[in-house]
Amino acid sequence: MKETKLAELMQQMTTEEKIGQLTQIKGDAFFSHQPNTGPKTHDLVLTESQLWQVGSLLNVAGYQKVKQMQDAYLAHSRLSIPLLFMGDVIHGYQTVFPIPLLQGCSWNPELVAKCAYISALESGYAGIQVNFSPMVDLVRDSRWGRVLEATGGEDPYLASLYGASMVEAYHQAGMACCAKHFIAYGAVESGMDYQFVDISRRELFSYYLPPFQSCIQAGVDLVMTAFTTFEGIPCTVHPWLLNALLRQKLDFQGILISDYSSLVETIAHGYSSSSKEAAFYGISSTLDIEMMSDCYLSSLSFLFDSGFVNKKLLDESVWRILSLKNRLGLFENPYGLANEEKEKHFILSAENLKTARLFSSESFVLLENKHHLLPLTSQSKIALIGPYADNQGISGAWSIYNEKNQNTVTIKQAFLERNLDFLYAKGSSVLPEEEINFILSMEGNSPISPSPSSTLQEMQQEAIEVANQSDVIVLALGEHYKQSGEGASRSMIDLPSIQLDLLRLLSSLGKPIVVLLFSGRPLALKEVVPYLDALLWVGFPGTEGGHAIGDVLFGDVNPSGRLTMSFPQTTGQNPLYYNHYSTGRPADQHSPYRYTARFQDIPPKPFYPFGYGLSYAEFEYKALTLSKTTLSLDLEKNDSLTVSITVKNSSSIAGKETIQLYIQDCFASVVRPVKELKHFQKVYFAPDEEKKISFTVTLSDLMFWNQDLAYIVEPGEFKVFVGRNSEDTLEAKFVVSPMSN
Ligand code: GLC
């Protein structure tokens, strides 16, 4: 529709119709007219007329359902303004891809984008028009359940790269998208969800803001506010964050949407004293859509009529919402991408499943491979054991459109298809019954039906018998998928104890053990690794998980995943991240000294570092050289130098290696991280192949936010590190000189 017509339409709208556009409710309540219940904290009950006024629905999908709702809504809408259907297609719709934290370990932005594109088409054909993705929160504390959603892990450069790739992919598919959660939600104190966040503006600019800048530059349509506070003010109504920073400094002109009832929760925060005040703070901070609460519906009319709020703010918000509906062509075709034929034939297509299988196997991270136990041969006599060996619950949190997992391929199924000589035993459940029932009760679900007659001892005995008849044990272990995701912070990030018991029991048989680790976060594995010979982290691998695991176990795919989040020695080592500051007493891993920055009872290093991952191939790094050792500070020149390194695949197995380049600004007007990822290249090597890999380092790689929040580069000494991960590198030095040379 032409903008002039859209403006005319908006002029015809009543204040109530405009306010309705600013509210989003769950779709299933819309049709059933049931009171919309949010989290325990807040019940939402709308009047009949309010129900028909809302501007968008949350998490409704399926061509028929969406069409029915849209038709019903349009029939009630005086001006025929279509609904927007928004949803959380976080890592796939029906074809579920690996969890985002694992996707990021592929260090393959093109692949991440391809899966975002497929997810957008599958869900788009089913009626979703706006995706609440990418989640670009920086994460440093694996106690936080939502680290599984962070494609970029602990690195702002990766988070920015992946965020922009996903925005572009969603747009290519014709879907609008939303960067979340603004801002620094991942910095919650002690990794506890929804908890207090207290960081400086400089930390915000340095680590948490870049991914949002990158998404905004890529054209992201919405930004979702975080549940948390920043500088003591809830992000959802934060004047400086939303007005000064997002709208003015970053020039974000898209839609600002709250998180689920986060506007009314500003009362629980102790910031707003009423829904009326919450509505005042929200609209004054240009919050456009209130998700799942009714402060706007109940109070905006009063605020405008009484002159507390300028109606211009309402029109600006409505204009942003109508403009998005118009951009998506909904006034001409209110169903958007929805298409019944394509919904039938594209969703879970062989092509999509093939991509999912490839993506999962490309993301897995090989953490241990003692005596080169892997890859296995298909002649091996295998004992396939563990609670995840024949378990379809491997899609992880936020696979909300495919919760039944009926298409998910288990490891056992994949083994059967390979006609392997294997025996199977479950060995133990994922968690003791009382533990999973407590988690279920916390989310209002009924307990699982009592497990079959076999007791834990009988399950363990059966596992031992199966193991005794085999040459090698493949043990599929991990945290329960409900132990990760939103509202799933854990105070101990260990493997469930009944599974550690099973591992110890089996290791006493003296057979080689391959552990396949399922988790939505880095776990504390110090007590696990001594009992195993090979360890493959598969995160929650999604629909094609079983096939992808088989592909890596038997060498059809050489694992190339590299960690984007450090694995800690113990829970207590959190928060943990590679781009940390030196401190005045940096600890030396090789000569323990009491009075240094370290814990007394663990080594001063991660258990597995950022960027780490093994391959079946062997790569050697040598001959790190710089094209010059002085860069001119003259920004006009935008001087640069070339960093080169020779990498050789000294094995007879082809493989992909991710060569990583880090930089340290050794001395500056504010302390700088000991290293920061600035470039990487994921490169294929044939057996015995040697390549010279080059990177260009420019002044823009050296810029940082100083204490006055100016983005600058300073003269001085720099180090460049190039290697296979953040700890195993070759290094060289260069200087930035104010003299132009
Ligand atoms: C949830 C999450 C957010 C999600 C939204 C809608 O509480 O915080 O990431 O997009 O609500 O489901």
At 541-553, the pLDDT tens digits run 999 999 999 999 9
Residue 638 has pLDDT above 50, yes or no: yes
| Residue with CA nearest ligand 1 atom 11 | 260
- Whether 371 and 533 have beta carbons less than 8 Å apart is answered as yes
Instruction: For residue 421, indicate whether it is catalytic.
Output: no
Please state, in angstroms and as integers, the Cα–Cα distance from residue 213 to each residue in 157, 179, 221, 404, following that order. 11, 10, 13, 37
The pLDDT assigned to 39 comes to 43
pLDDT tens, 531-575? Answer: 999 999 999 999 999 999 999 999 999 999 999 999 999 999 999
Q: How far apart are CA 627 and CA 644, in angstroms?
A: 8
186-207 mean pLDDT = 98
What DSSP line would sit under 397-435, residue for residue? Answer: TT-GGGTT-TTPPPHHHHHHHTT--EEEE--S-SS-HHH
507-515 mean pLDDT = 98
- Whether 504 and 531 have beta carbons less than 8 Å apart is answered as yes
| Residue with CA nearest ligand 1 atom 1 | 260
- Whether 322 and 315 have beta carbons less than 8 Å apart is answered as no
100-128 mean pLDDT = 98
Please state, in angstroms and as integers, the Cα–Cα distance from residue 582 to each residue in 156, 244, 296, 672, following that order. 19, 32, 47, 8
- What percent of the chain stands above pLDDT 70? 97
Closest-CA residue to 107 (of 570, 661, 631, 580): 661
Residues of the chain with CATH 3.40.50.1700: 354-565
**Range of lowest pLDDT (41-45, 247-251, 272-276, 449-453):** 41-45
- Whether 219 and 327 have beta carbons less than 8 Å apart is answered as no
| Residue with CA nearest ligand 1 atom 6 | 260
- With the most atoms of ligand 1 within 8 angstroms of its CB, the residue from 88, 146, 177, 401 to mutate is 88
| Residue with CA nearest ligand 1 atom 12 | 88
Residue 499 has pLDDT above 80, yes or no: yes
- CB-based burial of residue 72 (10 Å sphere; 0-12 exposed, 13-18 middle, 19+ buried)? middle
**Range of lowest pLDDT (46-50, 415-419, 447-451):** 447-451
The pLDDT assigned to 576 comes to 98
- Whether 736 and 631 have beta carbons less than 8 Å apart is answered as yes
Take residue 555 and report the two structure tokens written for it: 């060498």
What's the topology of domain 619-737?
Answer: Immunoglobulin-like (2.60.40)
The pLDDT assigned to 740 comes to 54
Residue 32 has pLDDT above 70, yes or no: no
Residues of the chain with CATH 2.60.40.10: 619-737
Residue 199 has pLDDT above 80, yes or no: yes
- CB-based burial of residue 329 (10 Å sphere; 0-12 exposed, 13-18 middle, 19+ buried)? middle
pLDDT tens, 347-402? Answer: 999 999 999 999 999 999 999 999 999 999 989 999 999 999 999 999 999 998 98
Q: How far apart are CA 260 and CA 264, in angstroms?
A: 9
The pLDDT-based confidence of 43 (bands split at 50, 70, 90) is: low
The pLDDT assigned to 42 comes to 58
- Whether 711 and 703 have beta carbons less than 8 Å apart is answered as yes
419-427 mean pLDDT = 96
Q: How far apart are CA 724 and CA 677, in angstroms?
A: 12
The pLDDT-based confidence of 31 (bands split at 50, 70, 90) is: low
Q: How far apart are CA 682 and CA 110, in angstroms?
A: 11
Give the global pTM: 0.97
- CB-based burial of residue 508 (10 Å sphere; 0-12 exposed, 13-18 middle, 19+ buried)? exposed
Residue 37 has pLDDT above 70, yes or no: no
Residue 34 has pLDDT above 60, yes or no: no
Q: Identify the residues whose C-beta falls under 6 Å from ligand 1.
A: 58, 88, 132, 180, 259-260, 486
Distance in Å from the first CA to the final CA of the chain:
56
**What superfamily does domain 354-565 belong to in CATH?**
Glycoside hydrolase family 3 C-terminal domain (3.40.50.1700)
Read off the amino acid at residue 606. P
Quote the mean pLDDT of the chain.
Answer: 95
Locate the DSSP E strands across 157-239. 176-182, 222-225, 229-230, 233-234
Take residue 222 and report the two structure tokens written for it: 């919405």
Catalytic residue among 88, 137, 155, 259: 259
The pLDDT assigned to 454 comes to 76
Looking from the CA of residue 149, the nearest atom of ligand 1 is 9
Closest-CA residue to 538 (of 106, 94, 88): 106
